[in-house]
């Protein structure tokens, strides 16, 4: 899912970035205080591997905060968004129940450098039986 999809919502100060995002589309950036939420598009329970599309740039946040909110709770991660090339970064595999209350939150970590986002991907690893 991308920042253009209906499940994407922002709070705080976000703006269009001059850096190309997933498939050459737009990317967004925020300094301290912004939050972007990718609501889960999943309607089937199971274990999913979650990926974020890193829009690489040397001035990005080295400690971008990401929270995975799933059926099992919430897990906080820190991702270095600086190294290139731009592309998919695996965030891990998580059990999702397939409810609309699940999703992924992106936020600036240190607040010194901008957080960026463009797209998120859920790949079914193991279906629930």
CATH code, 112: 2.60.120.260
pLDDT (mean) for 17-46: 92
Say what the pLDDT of residue 111 is: 61
Residue 113 structure tokens: 């450098």
Indicate whether 26 belongs to any domain.
yes
Indicate whether 3 belongs to any domain.
no
Say what the pLDDT of residue 120 is: 97
Indicate whether 129 belongs to any domain.
no
Task: Kindly give, in sequence order, each residue whose CB lies less than 8 Å from that of residue 81, ignoring residues fewer than 6 positions away.
Answer: 54, 55, 56, 57, 60, 61, 62, 64, 115, 116
pLDDT (mean) for 56-83: 92
Indicate whether 92 belongs to any domain.
yes
pLDDT (mean) for 16-34: 91
pTM score, whole prediction? 0.92
pLDDT (mean) for 46-61: 94
């Amino acid at each position: 899912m991308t920042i253009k999809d209906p499940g994407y919502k922002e709070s705080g100060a976000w703006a269009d970035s001059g850096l190309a995002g997933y498939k050459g589309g737009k990317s967004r950036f925020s300094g301290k205080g912004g939050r972007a939420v990718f609501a889960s598009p999943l309607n089937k329970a199971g274990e999913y591997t979650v990926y974020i599309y890193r829009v690489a740039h040397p001035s990005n946040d080295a400690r971008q905060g990401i929270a995975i909110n799933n059926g099992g709770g919430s897990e906080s991660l820190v991702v270095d968004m600086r190294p290139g090339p731009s592309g998919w970064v695996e965030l891990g595999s998580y059990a999702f129940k397939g409810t609309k209350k699940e999703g992924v939150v992106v936020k600036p970590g240190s607040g010194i450098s901008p957080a960026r986002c463009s797209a998120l991907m859920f790949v079914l690893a193991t279906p629930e039986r």
